[in-house]
Structure 1
């Protein structure tokens, strides 16, 4: 009897260890395409530093099985300029989507010099690109891109309460924001209704829905219109096309989750919901009953649907919804 129990215990430990080992691994999938034509690139090499390598197939697709962590990847192919992607987060049992566009390199070039219109090599455009992991890992930001950008050079805030951007001394309404190539006037909670130059307190976008955020404090193109201070271009991430997966997240003031729904190999649907719990914390602590502050409540939803009709034609629909409420106590 004792021998049977020992054997059963050993088998149980083996399967638990195997399950834990499998859950600790995630995978990176994506497609490598040519930047101009959108055609897939076969034979591209995807190298993750100090980890594993993979090669894209005839359709440009690849898959990397890798331990959980944050990595940097180099993507290269013959005849194309290599690309390095940093801060790629991999979570156990989840798929991380990594689509990369490579540009063709010119083997022969002609150099034209002009002393009159020479470019000053020391003059650089104030452009910063932030990945999802960089936004999430910035201390004190709570995963809010506006809080992260407030810490960049030449950027300030009117006060610690508001999340509006003051860039190079300009007014807050001189900034322009694009979300998935759609101009958005304001995407913050509790915008000051009595002062149009003040933005809200926090972004309505949850940390898990970002793909990247590109911020330009000068030198941006004509597509951004006549804004004088800055341009912020935010891309929402696509959901996994490999499998269903969920993420639960929480920070100092909000909690929520996201759901990735694959729609065959050609499309996906991302759904994210988040709610603040400050009102619950204030109610439990009894602070709001003392008449000091009220009960702020926020709720936001993010949806992104993507479907590929052809390698060069894609339908993308992004829907953002948010609700805000502030209940004041009788003492106020």
Structure 2
């Protein structure tokens, strides 16, 4: 059964995504004329859980060759097995590709167990990314689509990192050497998770995409926080913004590749689980699991369903969408920030229950 209620059939998938941000016409994606879904080679980075896992399963369900990458070996191997099961009907009824890739080639990859791959790797590590590149190039010799879902969160106001409760010796302004070092360390972890992973992925796979695909595409799962500032998300917003602008600049340097960005609001799941400032949070609250919403006394935020984000991501690749906001009205908030910043800032404080 398809996970999260996502349709397993490409055509049904397109119809079911009418409710997703950015309404598309009722037509097959032009990209399918160059790369049929059942012949697509897809690399999903950050696929051991969450949105990355569901995107990998959707592509496998469409018949694509899928390589999943993540740091947690047990979870990742489970995702690869799920992808293989979802792909089985296509393996049994595989026909010749319209793209000119012979069915014999695809059949060989399926028979050799190379249609669904898994590589345990840290996307912010250059040696690991080289291993991923070698695995994909060796197994497939071609790559059409790269999906970047890697990232980490941060949940504290910036100065709370430097001035966390404890026994640090501080001067009369509250500044301490330990606090500054803590800021450096937390910021570096945020950069590694949200920026370096995107940086190294681009460096590793842009040449392979340009050289081997007739319609290359890279998609970045970013965040509305990359363009709309928010309290308690300072480092998260800064590093996500850096990755997004890097991504957009790459699209100018490499026009043969379609660079798509999806900017969702908060997605269902445990955002705080990957917080790089978790040790600081733990020392400050005595309980890492304590929810910020509860501590601040604000209402629990309604979060996006993962299947909506998955549909939007895959539609963005299929139709060559450059930027997709979820929900769509956030693009208005982004524009309004430049006209009336005080209103957006006040609204952000209210949303996050933040008071000065």
**TM-score, length of structure 2 as denominator length:** 0.23
Which has the bigger relative contact order, CA under 8 A and spacing at least 6? 2
The structure whose residues are more often strand, as a share, is 1
| Larger Rg computed on CA atoms | 1
- Length-normalised TM-score, structure 1: 0.24
